[in-house]
Structure 1
Amino acid sequence: MTQTANNSSPDGGDEQPFVSHLVELRDRLLRVVLVVVVIFLALAPFANWLFTQLSGPLTRQLPEGSSLVAIGVVSPFFTPFKLAMVIAIFAAMPYILYQAWAFIAPGLYQHERQRVFPLMLSSTLLFYLGAAFAYYVVFPLVFGFLSSTAPEGVEFIPDISNYLDFVLTLFFAFGIAFEVPVATVLLVWSGAVTPEALRAKRSYIIVAAFVIGMFLTPPDVISQTLLALPMWLLFEVGVFMSERFAPKREKADDEDELMTDEEMERELDRIEEEEGQTPRG
């Protein structure tokens, strides 16, 4: 009883590591917040210029003499700073992922560390690639389509706050969509599915890509297709790359099962031969 009470005391070994983990997590979160704030303060003086660059794909599609408008009273002030904050978070993403990696790495095996870090790095690059694809490819097509579909007598004058929310949604949608290879590799690595099973379900994946594109993009065929096609192509890339991450133990288990069956047959044959050679009393 005394030993049990001592083990459950506040000085026990179970509670001490938990508190130290909480302290480490707090410290890393504070570092992340500090880095984001520093980047935001550096970008704040250029907030209006950043919004001008972001609105370029739309303003180039507007009729001559038209421009964006600010319906809200404080929209001209807060909208550019909101954009600066989002850009600060995007810019700090490598540091954020590094802090997450440094927190979980001590609990991983060596072979897991060798694979998790490249996946985290590639997921960051793919997210940035998805956002760049949305800005340089999707935005000009989508805004050109939307500006040309306005009914006669209706002037297309978007609000800056609504525009920012719209483009951030697209940035997030395409950034997440470009994570398909990483998700595919993780599924195969965890043993939840095999590359062969993914190839067999290719037709369902294509349909799911268009359904996801329908929900994550504005209600137009162009943006839906521009999201679905890269998702499908990236799925194919993920299936190809997942071959290297497929658990080797699956093949080894199959070979072990085959060897076990063969050994069992030989053992049965041996037992039958021994029984046949045993003299009868």
Structure 2
Amino acid sequence: MAAPELDGPEDDLEQGLFSHLIELRSRLMRAIVTVLLVLGVLLPFANRLYAELAAPLVARLPQGAHLIATEVASPFVTPLKLAFYVALLISMPMIVYQLWAFVSPGLYRNEKRLARPLLVAALFLFYLGCAFAYFLVLPAAFRFLTAVTPEGVEMMTDITHYLDFVMLMFFAFGLCFEVPVAVVILAAIGVVNLEQLRNGRRYAIVGAFAIAAFITPPDITSMIMLAIPMCLLYELGMLAVRWLLHPAKTEKTA
């Protein structure tokens, strides 16, 4: 009669991996259900959401000009796409929480202490970047674009192209506003220290204006409106390095 097999390290590893996969699936399902629930609430207001999104451009179009739909299904599909994007944006705290709940048990205490404020700050700064783009940058950019439209050309923007442009701007500004989080992470992993961050301030300013010139529409106002906040956020990142990281670590040379 064969002897019973004993559970070894390989079996424990396989069981542990299987349990982690089950937990990951559970976390992802919760995040997906949250997005779908929010989307279900927003669907009846999809057209109103698009009207609000289009307001910065519509308010600055010449008399008689308006947005157009060049595809048959665009009037129906485009507001639905916007509703999904908004649902994803609203659900982002729950998505981040589920990912954090999955990852955090494997982190050390000092890593958790640093990661919590960084996650909260990353969410807040991303939302702030989107709001900054919507309320300040887009009106200025559309004012410029409508002003430079050649005579004899009627400005009528397709609703799908407009949505893609605005979502791209939101994403770009949201990422650019993550500068303090990026600075803290680079300092935490030892790539740079506080002294190097101070000495690199001039390069950060040049980089901010270069990124702003690449991302924003072709007007100087929009470029300055992104570059200056990025420079200020760089300074905020240096303050965060001093507050969150141990002085000995911030002074460690890369």
Change (3 A) 1:117 1:181: same
Q: Residue 218 of structure 1: CA displacement?
A: 2.6
The residue number in structure 1 matching 2:92 is 93
State the shift of 1:122 in Å: 1.1
Q: For the Cα contact (< 8 Å) 1:126–1:179, is it kept in 2? A: yes
Partners of 1:89 and 1:226 in 2: CA distance: 26
User: CA RMSD, aligned part only?
Assistant: 2.1
Select between 242-251 and 110-119 the one with higher mean Cα deviation: 242-251
Which residue is equivalent to 1:74? Answer: 73
Aligned-residue offset at 1:250: 4.2
Distance 2:251 2:53 in 1: 53
Q: How far off is 1:248 after superposition?
A: 4.3
Determine the structure 2 residue equivalent to 1:259. none
In structure 2, the CA distance between the partners of 1:253 and 1:114, relative to structure 1 (3 Å rule), is closer
1:110 and 2:109 correspond: yes
CA offset at residue 198 of structure 1?
A: 0.8
Greater CA deviation, 42-51 or 215-224? Answer: 215-224
1:180 match = 179
**CA displacement at 1:186 relative to structure 2:** 1.2
Take 2:201 and 2:163, find their aligned partners in 1: how far apart are those partners?
Answer: 35
Instruction: Work out whether residues 178 and 234 of structure 1, in 8 Å CA contact, stay in contact via their aligned partners in 2.
Output: yes
Give the whole-Å Cα distance in 2 for the aligned partners of 1:223 and 1:105: 39
Q: Structure 1 residues 13 and 133 mapped into 2: Cα distance closer, same or farther (>3 Å)?
A: same
Counterpart in the other structure of 2:27: 28
Distance 1:53 1:250, change over 3 A: closer
* CA deviation profile, 1:43-70 (whole Å, cap 9, x unmatched): 0010000000111110110112221111
Change (3 A) 1:194 1:63: same
Contact 1:123–1:179 (Cα < 8 Å) also in 2: yes
Residues 2-41 of structure 1 deviation map (CA, whole Å, 9 limit, x = unaligned):
9xx96365xx111111111111111111111111011111
Closer/same/farther in 2, CA of residues 148 and 121 from structure 1, 3 Å limit: same
Q: Which SS does the other structure have where 1:55 is aligned?
A: helix
Q: CA separation in 1, counterparts of 2:207 and 2:99?
A: 31
Q: Which residue of 2 aligns with 1:130?
A: 129
Q: Which runs of 5+ in 2 are unaligned?
A: none
In 1, the alpha carbon distance for the partners of 2:251 and 2:150 equals 65
Shift of 1:236: 0.6
Q: Which amino acid aligns with 1:210?
A: F
| Aligned residue type for 1:213 | A
Aligned mates of 2:60, 2:226 — CA distance in 1: 21
**Structure 1 segments (4+ residues) deviating >6 Å:** 251-254
Matching of residues 1-281 of structure 1 within 5 Å: 7=8, 12-250=11-249
Cα shift at 1:244: 2.0
Q: CA deviation at 1:252?
A: 9.9
CA distance in 1, matches of 2:42, 2:180: 32
Is residue 25–residue 103 contact of structure 1 (8 Å, CA) maintained in 2? yes
C-alpha separation in 1, matches of 2:213 and 2:40:
37
Structure-2 residue corresponding to 1:266: none
TM-aligned CA distance change 1:15 to 1:248, over 3 Å = farther
In the TM superposition, what is the alpha-carbon distance from 1:245 to its structure 2 partner?
2.7
Aligned to 1:276: none
For residues 167-190 of structure 1, the C-alpha deviation after alignment (integer angstroms, 9 at most, x for no partner) is: 101101111111111111111122
Which whole-Å CA distance do the structure 2 matches of 1:251 and 1:60 have between them? 48
Aligned-partner SS, 1:89 = helix
CA distance in 2: counterparts of 1:210 and 1:247, whole angstroms:
31
Higher relative contact order (CA 8 A, sep 6+): 2
Question: Number of paired residues?
Answer: 250
Stretch moving more, 109-118 or 69-78: 109-118
Task: Quote the Cα distance in structure 1 between the aligned partners of 2:247 and 2:207.
Answer: 29
Structure 1 regions of 5+ residues with no counterpart? 255-281
Task: Find the aligned partners of 1:249 and 1:146 in 2 and give their Cα distance.
Answer: 50
